[in-house]
Structure 1
Amino acid sequence: TALAVQTRTLDATRADLEITVEIESAAVGSAAVQIEVLDPEGTRVARIDRKPMFKAGDNRIAVPVALQKPRRWWPAGQGEQARYTVRATLAPETAKATHIEQRTGLRTVELRREVDRNGGQGFAFVINGVPIFAKGANVIPFDMFPARVDAARIRRELTAARDANMNMLRNWGGGYYEDDVFFDIADELGLLVWQDFMFGGGMQPGYDPAFRANVVHEARDNVRRLRHHPSVVLWCGNNEEETAWKDWGHGRDLTAADPAFAAKVWQGYVDLFGNDLRQVVADEGLGVPYWSSSPSNDLDEKANDSTRGDKHYWQVWGNPALPVTAYLHETPRFMSEYGLQAWPVLRTLDGIIPAAEQQVDSATVRAHQKFMAGEGNQRLLKYIEEEYGTPRDFPTFVYLSQVMQADGIQLAALHHRASRPYTMGSLYWQLNDVWPGASWSSIDYAGRWKALHFHAKRFFADHAVAALRDDGVTRVSLLNDRQQGLQATWRLRVLDLDGTQRSEQRHTVALPPLSALEVGRFADADLLKGADPARTVAVLELFDGATLLSQQVVYFVPAKALALSPATIDAELRADGNGNGNGYVLTLRSPKLVRALWIDFDGVDAALDDNALDLVPGETVTIRLRSEADLDTLRDALRFTSLADTKAR
């Protein structure tokens, strides 16, 4: 017995649903069938009774149901995550009653691919008629041993994604299909899910009918299992198989060796991913769109094109290892992969690497670095040294790896967001870790946030300022992902590192709904007016009335060239006073600019709601945190690291 709920039409006033009950009967007969729909509070809002005749074998009963003033399911940041319960009871005349129940959300989904005047084609998810800019990350398996992954761990990682203002996760095709609990939690949190079928990087024998039939059976089982989840908004055939064939040389090399077999392999690919899986999703997916591969133009010529389809961009970090500023020159329709590595939080590393082995090139450290056959630290050092200088020791190396990762991904993500509506998605690689080592994740294996995840909370905020400096010019855009417009104020100040203000300008602006609005371009010379670029910064801010929504500091020289003084931070830590026994409030203030401040508690676990930030001179920052430790222990353990404190040789 199975149950499917398809949304035929949906708006704020009415939902027209088709509820289908699938029944396998051993014999001809009749049965009473009752279908109930309960609203999010559990109140029954519809009931339908039928008494059909059944044939021996498979039977389907499709019942139309209309709901007035439905409560729609929305992605995070756009509205509530309302979910209805649909129950079906089958009571045969000669057997016990059978009950089946599903919890689902009412939403429509469209993958909008409008052709533009330059011959490109958009790639935007439209939920309930609203184009959504997808903000998020790729998800890999949570552990090398899936049996160790429980619901609490999945909730921890997905809640962290939501807390960082993400609204989409891509389940990567190189892993395995997640359990139902993953999707239950995604439904609850409003996280859209791009779901790959589990194929990645290679080619399958799609020319073999038996193999294809086996794949179709597995795919159909998973689509039917997950189709009631409103979070699932795309089924994608595979990860990187089309681009591997077309761009990595797989197709070229096989064609050179055996042209006939290469043609057979490619036709099998088209049959499997272009036809078979597409048909499975059309038959079973309840209207969720299908995409043949990622990256792809859905089997159009180029597989990894910035003007059409989705894009994986690895020229930064991967070969040829371009500088992070290259992100500003890559403007895709939807960026579904890009990333930079960093090491886990030091407290996590202390649990796996003995103190004596904590050296950049030690055997143990190399064993936990899998990129480039263990040589990935050389790639990390390249990126660190370009911007921040040479780390003086292992803790500095770890700290600067995280600063580099956070700064670089922030640059890319804000560029993507500022390019709306041409670009409509930014999913960095990756959210989580499968084991404790150097990786592209923003959350380490122990669940601790790297600097990137704190940055993501800021650069993925629904209201944000994007100040993107390239070739001596800073382009300022204001971002609004809400369906409501905003009367806002933005401010630009130029400050010395000691807080002396050199200039200020303030402007009011009407931010349209669902928009990125460029408000100015500023040449370095116009901002600096002769000031020393190593001792001067620009501060961009967005306000709603007196409330600061977003702040970004712009630097005119590489971090290693800044004339930073050792950080002097006035810090106060107190209980939060709200009766929350493990809640604390930390207030910070510095007379001089503090670049890339990292706060930790020297071996004591504490969860902070903000970290990895720049302190603007003279301004107070308030951070809330939770810890099982008492106040005195936390005060004694409080430690700060900033760029000035780790100034490289």
Structure 2
Amino acid sequence: MSMQSLLRFFLGLCAALATGAAMAAAPGQFVIDKGWSFRLAPGNAQLDTHPEAAAWRAAAVPGTVHGDLFANKLIPDPYVGAPEAALQWIGLADWEYRTRFDAPRSAMSAARSDLVFAGLDTFAEVWLNGEKLLDANNAFRTWRVPVQGKLRARDNALRIVLRSPIAKLLPQVQAMPNKIAGNYPSPYGDEPKDAMTGNFARKPGYHYGWDWGPRYVTAGIWKPVVLESWDALRIDDLQLRQDRVEEARADIAAIVTVDAVREGAQEVRLWQTAPDGKRSLAAQRRVELRAGANRIELPVRIERPQRWFPAGYGAQPLYRYEVELGGVKAGARTGLRKVELRRDADDKGKSFYFAVNGIPVFAKGANSIPFDMFQPRVSKAKLRRVLESARDANMNMVRSWGGGYYESDEFFDLADELGLMVWQDFMFGGGMQPAYDDAFRANVVAEARDQVRRLRNHPSIVLWCGNNEEEIAWKYWGHGKTLKEADPAFADKVWKGYVQLFGTDLRKVVAEEGGGIAYWSSSPGDDLAEVANTPASGDMHYWEVWGNPAHPPSKYLEITPRFMSEYGLQAWPVQRTIDAFAKRSEQGIASPVIEAHQKFLAGKGNERLMKYVDYEFGETRDFADFVYLGQAAQAEGIELAALHHRASRPFTMGSLYWQLNDVWPGASWSSVDWFGRWKALHFHARRFYAPVAVAALRTPEGRTSVSLLNDRTRPLKGELRLRVMSLDGKLLRDERTPVELAPLSAARVAAYQDADLLGQADPAATVAVFELKAEGEPASRRVVYFKAAKDLRWPEPALRASLRRDGKHYVVDLQAATLARGVWVDFGDLDAEVADNALTLLPQERVSLRVSSKAGLAALRKALKLRSVADLLAAPASAKRASQALPAAWLRLDALSAGRRRAGVTPP
């Protein structure tokens, strides 16, 4: 499917989902999702250059203005080619949306009617039948407006004007004598680089551009618009607060919030549906309601509860509760578990780890970012594909990062079902916020209450965190220092506002609304201790590998944190994904389209990635090799870090790499690309996050430490095998040792100097292979190399493959005559998923991999391609370079990089 076809499919799917919502609306709810149209608002300055947007055209609600412009063929595909610069006018424009609807008969006769806007992005004026109802200013809040007496039986006119956040905020930002720090300045001139507006708006920060995504400052009615009507009462919320969850008993409180039209007595019933489907009456009593807001608390005791566990620690049983009151029903689902963030003091500082049902859990996972630049296009199927990929890679946690939006109910439903714990940031991605402003802070507190109440029943949520990287930016990146030098009084006011919002206000919201889940003020941090981002205490982000000064991945072995919540290496996605946005003729390391999809360091990301490829593999001959070796460098580097973190248990208790997914197709730190295709990193993650694994980690000084990792809650017996062999298969040493693995442990069992392993063998032609086999667990293998891949004496590659049908699936049989590192099985443009990839095969090893595809056997055989590191490195470099004519842009940049290396200059 082409990129354009896929985007149209997503737009159609959103419309279908919206229609489905109307069909499935609860009694008293009328979803207003039909008949919408949009236009560039009259009088807007952008009309002079874009008159084509002046006419009314069909719109999708929920949706975004970029989606509507694309659906109406007024703009090109925002992801294909390099259209970004030419589309910045959209974020500078005001947009008008309208529809007309007939009110349901029940709404006309109801005692109460509200228009409910679940998501308006962002500065929105709402008009009904010519009367202004609302000035909204927060994309993350739900806006509820009473409309009884304002509705007509037929032909109600609903109009929403969305103001440009840049145009609205820029005058006040420019008027500031000293400005607070923003995030990413626009390279396109749509706002001044010294007056960034994004951190003053309560809208997704990534819309303003990030180092993995484009700048599309969109607007829209991004969640449903619903007319709610009722005569007697409305159940506003059902909270399932877990007061006590133990193996023998669980005590919960079902807290019902009710808006009653008038006072009176009512019977309330609470029904429980257990994970096995058995339904029973859990609580019942008569209550006296007063007119207005009411709070009813119903205690529930569950004997021998079926408890919810993270993936890898047990099952994820879910209980459903339904409350009935005055003929009105409301339901909620939860999993019963006890979650603690433990901060135990020791001689180094304080621990940072999560205990679930009393089990200390080593958090294994990644950071998630938004799943698309335009949220309404994200389907549940897409969420399921990526989150199942996380679970399938043995992850048990995702950190939902703070520069996007609060994820949908479907995201958290899936996390509940899959056993993925969620570290949830509030939506602050970086820079500094105007929290010294009382109105701004009050707006955020209202947002936080909305979101915590919406999400608090999900057992997957284990932490609420105030923001991403704002504290360390102020303390260590120069943000605070610069402002203190320019205006000490204002700097003090800014910091006090920060402490008030993130130290007090949001902490209070979580304490009051969060049902006992912990709050953490900033990541990385130590909850507002003087020193942040320290290995001794709290969580840590580490970016001196990849970021400046761009240490080699071996530096990861020197950093041992309590909990590593960010670290990463970049790579391009697979070739098929690149082909979706760039023609083959446009694919070169310095070509305009490729650079448009490389967002790190203003177009210098490919130089940085080339540096990391060169650390291990040397120079590359063409763009395809650059992509392949970039993925290998990413996978191997992150594997080194993750295994070091796991081997450092219990001092280190979490490893979340940056990042799980993508907002669009391009270069990034993700392990799963925008289409849901796995990079080499994700296949590696499934192995290095395996519950039982061996970590054999070699330092640049030539010392290898071997640790056995067991995340199971039971002890295991097994065998550790050490083989030393040549690259072409000559066995030099073979030792087998019985081992016992304690539960929930990492145990260092051996340490070697290179000479201990090599003896007299050639380090350029020899490897050490450590393999752990434990009862009931897949074997875990780690290959130790004694030199960088570019310095090894690779034999000629000798990989063979055959493809056969096996029932509903295919099987590819692989065999390697010599050691094959980074074997990648590819089927080109065909839809085919391989069960495993990015493999290392030992000499004479045979592996059979399942292949899922609708293509025929003959087509798959024709398309099948294999590559390994030896394919690129076995032949002399001069021969490789002579084998293919290179694009001029590649040659220029390759020569520039080589010259810098010779001169000892590190690319920025």
Same fold, TM exceeding 0.5? yes
Determine helix, strand or coil for the equivalent of 1:198. Answer: coil
Partner residue, 1:131: 360
1:390 aligns with 2:619: yes
- Report the CA distance between 1:279 and its aligned residue: 0.4
Cα distance in 2, alignment partners of residues 189 and 359 from structure 1: 40
Aligned to 1:291, which of 520, 527, 546?
A: 520
1:306 aligns with 2:560: no
Deviations 1:64-90 (A, max 9, x none): 211111100110011101000011000
- Report the CA distance between 1:20 and its aligned residue: 1.2
Contact 2:283 2:299 in 1 (8 A): no
Aligned to 1:36, which of 248, 271, 282?
A: 271
Partner residue, 2:282: 47
Aligned to 1:249, which of 453, 473, 478?
A: 478
1:474 aligns with 2:686: no
1:150 aligns with 2:379: yes
Contact 2:692 2:777 in 1 (8 A): no
Cα distance change of structure 1 residues 584 and 246 upon mapping to structure 2, 3 Å threshold: same
Aligned to 1:645, which of 871, 874, 899?
A: 871
Cα distance in 1, alignment partners of residues 741 and 803 from structure 2: 37
Partner residue, 1:505: 735
Cα distance in 2, alignment partners of residues 413 and 41 from structure 1: 37
Cα distance change of structure 1 residues 325 and 64 upon mapping to structure 2, 3 Å threshold: same
Cα distance in 2, alignment partners of residues 560 and 105 from structure 1: 51
Aligned to 1:363, which of 589, 592, 597?
A: 592
Partner residue, 1:94: none
* Greater mean deviation of Cα atoms: 183-192 or 15-24: 15-24
Aligned to 1:113, which of 343, 361, 364?
A: 343
1:597 aligns with 2:823: yes
Deviations 1:386-405 (A, max 9, x none): 21010001100010100000
Deviations 1:410-469 (A, max 9, x none): 000000000011000000000111111111111112211111010001000101111100
Partner residue, 2:812: 586
Cα distance in 2, alignment partners of residues 516 and 546 from structure 1: 18
* Greater mean deviation of Cα atoms: 186-195 or 623-632: 623-632
Cα distance change of structure 1 residues 546 and 52 upon mapping to structure 2, 3 Å threshold: closer
Deviations 1:351-408 (A, max 9, x none): 2111112211112211111111101111111111121010001100010100000010
Aligned AA (1:297) = D
Partner residue, 2:252: 17
- Report the CA distance between 1:227 and its aligned residue: 0.3
Cα distance in 2, alignment partners of residues 491 and 61 from structure 1: 62
Partner residue, 2:229: none
1:568 aligns with 2:568: no
Cα distance in 1, alignment partners of residues 492 and 639 from structure 2: 42
Aligned AA (2:393) = A
Partner residue, 2:320: 85
Runs of 4+ in 1 over 4 A off after TM superposition: 545-548
Aligned AA (1:614) = T
Deviations 1:18-69 (A, max 9, x none): 1111112222211010011110122024421101111222221212211111
Partner residue, 1:162: 391
TM-score by length of 2: 0.70
Cα distance in 2, alignment partners of residues 265 and 411 from structure 1: 40
Instruction: Provide structure 1 residue ranges, at least 5 long, that are not aligned to the other structure.
Output: 92-96
1:5 aligns with 2:218: no
1:27 aligns with 2:262: yes
Q: How does 1:228-627 map to 2 (within 5 A)?
A: 228-470=457-699, 471-545=701-775, 548-577=778-807, 581=808, 583-627=809-853
What is the alpha-carbon root mean square deviation over aligned residues?
1.2
Determine helix, strand or coil for the equivalent of 1:454. Answer: helix
Contact 2:659 2:669 in 1 (8 A): yes
Cα distance in 2, alignment partners of residues 136 and 576 from structure 1: 33
Contact 2:269 2:281 in 1 (8 A): no
- Report the CA distance between 1:476 and its aligned residue: 0.5
Determine helix, strand or coil for the equivalent of 2:494. Answer: helix
Contact 2:772 2:781 in 1 (8 A): yes
Aligned AA (1:629) = A
- Report the CA distance between 1:566 and its aligned residue: 2.5
- Report the CA distance between 1:622 and its aligned residue: 2.2
Cα distance in 2, alignment partners of residues 399 and 155 from structure 1: 27
Contact 2:429 2:468 in 1 (8 A): yes
- Report the CA distance between 1:255 and its aligned residue: 0.5
Cα distance in 1, alignment partners of residues 536 and 794 from structure 2: 42
Aligned AA (1:632) = A
Contact 2:552 2:612 in 1 (8 A): yes
Determine helix, strand or coil for the equivalent of 1:242. Answer: helix
Cα distance in 1, alignment partners of residues 850 and 562 from structure 2: 37
Partner residue, 1:182: 411
Aligned AA (1:22) = T
Contact 1:45 1:67 in 2 (8 A): no
- Report the CA distance between 1:570 and its aligned residue: 3.0
Percent identity (aligned): 58
Determine helix, strand or coil for the equivalent of 1:51. Answer: strand
Aligned to 1:74, which of 309, 315, 319?
A: 309
Instruction: Provide structure 2 residue ranges, at least 5 long, that are not aligned to the other structure.
Output: 1-234, 879-908
Partner residue, 2:198: none
Aligned AA (1:134) = A
Partner residue, 1:628: 854
Cα distance in 2, alignment partners of residues 168 and 450 from structure 1: 19
Q: How does 1:94-113 map to 2 (within 5 A)?
A: 97-113=327-343
Deviations 1:338-363 (A, max 9, x none): 00110110111112111112211112
Aligned residues between the structures: 639
Deviations 1:585-632 (A, max 9, x none): 222121210111111012212111210011111222221221111222
Aligned AA (2:506) = L
Instruction: State which structure, 1 or 2, has the greater radius of gyration over its C-alpha atoms.
Output: 2
Cα distance in 2, alignment partners of residues 61 and 440 from structure 1: 47
* Greater mean deviation of Cα atoms: 5-14 or 608-617: 5-14
- Report the CA distance between 1:545 and its aligned residue: 4.8
Cα distance in 2, alignment partners of residues 300 and 38 from structure 1: 44
Aligned AA (2:569) = L
- Report the CA distance between 1:546 and its aligned residue: 9.0
* Greater mean deviation of Cα atoms: 286-295 or 619-628: 619-628
* Greater mean deviation of Cα atoms: 34-43 or 410-419: 34-43
Aligned AA (2:356) = I
Contact 1:73 1:230 in 2 (8 A): yes
Cα distance in 1, alignment partners of residues 243 and 604 from structure 2: 54
